[in-house]
Amino acid sequence: MAAPISGTQAPGYYRIKVGDYEVTVVSDGGLTLDHTLFVGDEAGAEKLLRDAHLPKMGIPTPLNTWLINTGKQLILVDAGGGTHFAPSVGRLPQNLAAAGISPSAIDAVVITHPHPDHIPGVITGDGNMLFANATLHVQEDDHGFWTSSEIRGKAPEEFRGFFDLAVNAIKPYAAAGKLSLYKDGTEFAPGVRAVACHGHTVGHSMVRVSPSGGDFLIFGDIVHCAALQFPDPERGVAFDTDPAMALANRKKVFDMVATDRLLFSGGHLPFPGLGRATKSGKGYVFVPVIQGEM
């Protein structure tokens, strides 16, 4: 039977139960990155990418955010790129709507790190709070770094826009008295807490979700390309503020999730960005969650 070619996709959200809580991975869309942004020998990168059926240039790079429903509070972790990289990014509002969530229902937004693909989505195109009733939680060292005009002035020209995007996103929340600075161990809700994992930025943090009966780790941006960095964790990314610390923490977190067989998600893992890791050779194998598993 003839049928029209629809050209549309299912909305980008995916739900899992984590003990008493529900976590919804909500897609903000995706970006592309080139292999030249990653540390390591080119021949090795080419082989890893070819084996993963990925191009060397313009590697598809998803952008995930997470909505944690504790039953009493709605906490969003990261908010995507907003209008900055539209239209490939900035799909959080439409995917939240598809998931039945109004931005005004969200109580808190926790930012793993205030990079241009994680924080600009907290504001509307005209610079107002998208999440009108939410407290914005930014790690204290990251806040100090990304709002410093002195550090901005010393940064390479191509990174100065990063500072402006962070400042603009934070501004309306600070003006409304809705900005809160967090540190290692800060608890955003019972069983939802920050875990320091610095290096990608000076305050980059993970969020551990461990309510009664569940345990889940949102590890933020320790991985920007699963196909390159699980098999070879030494392959860092150009955006790391402190590459040595970022590498040490990537190895530490990979070891922990593999040893503890812990379910995790990351900002740039293939949507829905949920899986586990198994040690293999000098690196790890990423094992995605199978739809219907939970």
Q: How far apart are CA 80 and CA 136, in angstroms?
A: 14
78 or 141: whose CB is closer to Zn ion?
78
The piece of 18-26, 46-54, 166-174, 218-226 that touches Zn ion (CB under 5 A) is 218-226
Residues 6+ apart with CB under 8 A from 95: 11, 12, 13, 26, 27, 28
Q: Which of residues 258-277 bind Zn ion (CB under 5 A)?
A: 267
- Provide the minimum distance between the beta carbon of 172 and Zn ion in the complex, in angstroms, as a whole number: 22
Q: Rule CB under 5 A: say whether 221 interacts with Zn ion.
A: yes
Q: Is 28 in the site for Zn ion (CB under 5 A)?
A: no
Residue 141 found at the interface with Zn ion (CB under 5 A): no
- Measured from the CB atom, the residue of 31 and 189 that comes closer to Zn ion is 31
β-pairing, 274-280 vs 263-265, is antiparallel
Q: Which of residues 178 and 268 has its CB atom nearest to Zn ion in the complex?
A: 268
How does DSSP classify residue 38? B
**Cβ of residue 200: shortest distance to Zn ion, in angstroms?**
8
Nearest distance from C-beta of residue 279 to Zn ion, angstroms? 25
- Judged by CB under 5 A, the stretch of 11-19, 117-125, 134-142, 280-288 that binds Zn ion is 117-125
Q: Does 240 bind Zn ion (CB under 5 A)?
A: no
Asked if 117 interacts with Zn ion (CB under 5 A), we say yes
Integer Cα distance of 137 and 154 in angstroms: 26
Closer by beta carbon to Zn ion, 117 or else 240: 117
Q: Which is nearer to Zn ion, 132 or 167 (CB)?
A: 167
**How far is residue 210 from each of residues 32, 188, 192, 225, measured CA to CA in Å?**
32, 12, 6, 26
- 148-157 burial code (b ≥16 CB/10 A, e <16): eeeebeeeee
Alpha carbon 286 to its chain centroid, in Å, reads: 17
Query: If binding means CB under 5 A, how many residues of this protein chain bind Zn ion?
Result: 3
The answer to whether the peptide bond before residue 87 is cis (omega within 30 degrees of 0) is yes
Rounded to the nearest 5 degrees, what angle is found at the Cα of 173, between the Cα atoms of 77 and 157?
A: 80
Question: Which chain residues interact with Zn ion by CB under 5 A?
Answer: 117, 221, 267
